Amino acid sequence: MSIADSTQFLCFLALSAAVLLGALGVVLLPNIVYSAFLLGGVFLAVAGLYLLLNASFVAAAQMMIYVGAVNVLILFAIMLVNKKETLEAIPGLGVRRILSGAVCAGLLGLLLRVDFTTPWALPGPVSIGEGATIRIGEHLFSDYLLPFELASVLLLMAMIGAIVLARRDVFSSDVITGEGVDQGLIEKARTPLLLEKNLQIQPVLEKTP
Amino acid sequence: MSLSSLFALTLPTTVPLQGFLAVAAVLFCTGVWGLINSRNAVRVLMSIELMLNGVNINLMAFSSYLDGQLIRGQVFTIFVITVAAAEAAVGLAILLSLYRNRDTVDMERFNLLRW
């Protein structure tokens, strides 16, 4: 599959514009829900850039992991911590923004100077094209086997750690009756702990069907 | 003059490597600015994801242009995506825990470790 070079360049321009404007929107928009959806658009445009670079497997991985998992996770976090609060003003916030903007612009200038003045060793070897997925598989199971297995251990640790960090703390035993309540809060319809200490629990249990 | 020949005259023949690197640089710097200046903790996590995507574009561009046969940059990009997913999960869990304890997502009020 090869599309004409000029079409490829136009696609690059459009995707770059989408990435950069979307990133600015993510950082600058006041409503964070719009920011989260724009972040999904940025991820999609980056996947398009990967397709322009002959990397269909990484583009698919970007779609599934970033758009499908990370962005949805961020949206869930926004829903869970959705609280309208007015941030109190901080003295010197404008000065701080301008200073950090200057630092970031300096970093950008440095990176662009390196980009446009370094004599890159172009043209490199011929791109592998459609065989990229096979080559990635060979890499993952030969010379990158140890990082691959470490990545699986890292994902397992991150999953368990996220569950432990985000679960709600419940008391291991009821303060009033002394019985274990870990599963009882979920399975039985009973009043939550420590809400009304004087309420009799037994009639509540009998009333539930 | 047809439209395609006009494009062929005015546009460069292929996308240069420097174009991809410039996009990645701008994306990374935008992420750094957002990371410093955001007051909502969720937006800080989004800025980190932007920075990681800038790094990934860099790796993919070098892999495609300078290392076309052994595409080691693509393998590194897959590892970076993996670590980014783990980082997002743990970061959002920490954020939820902080929100339950402090009842706010304002970064300026997360000063538990200030001496």
ipTM of the complex: 0.88
Instruction: Give per-residue pLDDT as tens, A95-124.
Output: 989 999 999 999 999 999 999 998 888 787
The one-character DSSP state at B107 is G
What pLDDT is stored for residue A181 in this prediction? Answer: 56
Of A58-62, A123-127, B33-37, B93-97, where does mean pLDDT reach its minimum? A123-127
Q: How confident is the model at residue B9 (pLDDT cuts 50, 70, 90)?
A: low
What pLDDT is stored for residue B4 in this prediction? Answer: 54
> Any CB–CB contact under 8 A between A139 and chain B?
yes
CB A41 within 8 Å of CB A18? yes
Q: How far apart are the first and last CA of chain B?
A: 71
Arithmetic mean of pLDDT over chain A: 82
Q: Which residues of B touch A76 (CB under 8 A)?
A: 92
Average pLDDT over every residue of A6-22 = 92
CA distance B19 to chain A (A): 9
What pLDDT is stored for residue A93 in this prediction? Answer: 84
> Any CB–CB contact under 8 A between B59 and chain A?
no
Cα–Cα distance, A73 to A76 (Å, whole number): 5
CB B27 within 8 Å of CB A24? no
Instruction: Give per-residue pLDDT as tens, A153-179.
Output: 999 999 999 988 887 765 555 566 666
A72 in helix, strand or coil? helix
What pLDDT is stored for residue A160 in this prediction? Answer: 93
Contacts of A27 (CB under 8 A, 6+ apart): A35, B30, B31, B33, B34, B37, B38, B43, B47, B50
Contacts of B15 (CB under 8 A, 6+ apart): A8, A9, A12, A52
The single-letter code of the amino acid at B56 is N
Query: From its phi and psi, is residue A89 left (phi > 0), alpha (psi between -120 and 50) or beta?
Result: beta
CA distance B112 to chain A (A): 17
Contacts of A205 (CB under 8 A, 6+ apart): A188, A189, A190
What pLDDT is stored for residue A102 in this prediction? Answer: 95
Q: How far apart are the first and last CA of chain A?
A: 64
What pLDDT is stored for residue B83 in this prediction? Answer: 94
What pLDDT is stored for residue B23 in this prediction? Answer: 95
Average pLDDT over every residue of A180-208 = 48
Tell me which residues of chain B, numbers 33 to 52, contact chain A at a CB-CB cutoff of 8 Å.
33-34, 36-43, 45-47, 49-50
Whether the per-residue pLDDT at B112 is higher than 90: the answer is: no
Contacts of B36 (CB under 8 A, 6+ apart): A100, A104
A23:B30 CB<8 A: yes
What pLDDT is stored for residue A204 in this prediction? Answer: 47
Q: Which residues of A touch B65 (CB under 8 A)?
A: 120, 122-124
What pLDDT is stored for residue B55 in this prediction? Answer: 95
Q: How confident is the model at residue A145 (pLDDT cuts 50, 70, 90)?
A: very high
Match 């439209």 to its residue by tokens. B3
What pLDDT is stored for residue A142 in this prediction? Answer: 92
What pLDDT is stored for residue A1 in this prediction? Answer: 42
Q: Which residue, among A24, A83, A111, A141, would best test binding to B if mutated, counting the most B CBs under 10 Å from its CB?
A: A111
Whether the per-residue pLDDT at B21 is higher than 80: the answer is: yes
DSSP for B42-101 reads HHHHHHHHHHHHHHHHHHHHHHHHH-SSS-HHHHHHHHHHHHHHHHHHHHHHHHHHHHHH
Of A73-82, A123-132, B24-33, where does mean pLDDT reach its minimum? A123-132
What's the angle, vertex CA A129, arms to CA A121 and CA B22, rounded to 5? 45
Q: State the DSSP H helix or E strand holding residue A37, giving kind and residue range, or none if neither.
A: helix A32-52
Match 């009639």 to its residue by tokens. A203
B82:A155 CB<8 A: yes
Instruction: Give per-residue pLDDT as tens, B42-94.
Output: 999 999 999 999 999 999 999 999 988 888 999 999 999 999 999 999 999 99
Whether the per-residue pLDDT at A42 is higher than 90: the answer is: yes
Cα–Cα distance, B36 to A162 (Å, whole number): 25
